Amino acid sequence: MEQPLCVLTGDLIGSTALPDGQVAAAMAALRDAAGQISGWPDAAPARFTPYRGDGWQMVLRDPARALRAALFLRASLRVLGKPFATRIALATGVEALGAGPDLSGETGPNFVASGRALDAMPRGTELVWAAGGARDAVFRLADHISAGWTPAQARAVARMLPPTDMTHAAAAQALGISRQAVDQALGAAGYPALHQAIALFERDFHAS
- pLDDT digits 0-9 by tens, 140-181: 999 999 999 999 999 999 999 999 999 999 999 999 999 999
Helix pair angle (66-78, 133-146), 10° resolution: 20
In a domain, 165, yes or no: no
Residue type, 88: I
In a domain, 167, yes or no: no
CATH at 133: 3.30.70.1230
The whole-chain average pLDDT of the chain stands at 93
Would you place residue 42 in the very low, low, confident or very high pLDDT band (cuts 50, 70, 90)?
A: confident
Would you place residue 114 in the very low, low, confident or very high pLDDT band (cuts 50, 70, 90)?
A: very high
Q: What's the CA gap between 208 and 197, in Å, rounded?
A: 16
Number of structural domains in the chain: 1
Would you place residue 6 in the very low, low, confident or very high pLDDT band (cuts 50, 70, 90)?
A: very high
Domain range for 35 is: 3-147
> Residue 208's closest CA among 123, 158, 135?
135
Residue 131 pLDDT > 80: yes
Would you place residue 17 in the very low, low, confident or very high pLDDT band (cuts 50, 70, 90)?
A: confident
The DSSP letter of residue 20 is T
In a domain, 159, yes or no: no
Least confidently predicted of 12-21, 33-42, 158-167: 12-21
- What mean pLDDT comes out for the span 174-202? 97
In a domain, 102, yes or no: yes
The per-residue pLDDT for 21 is: 85
In a domain, 13, yes or no: yes
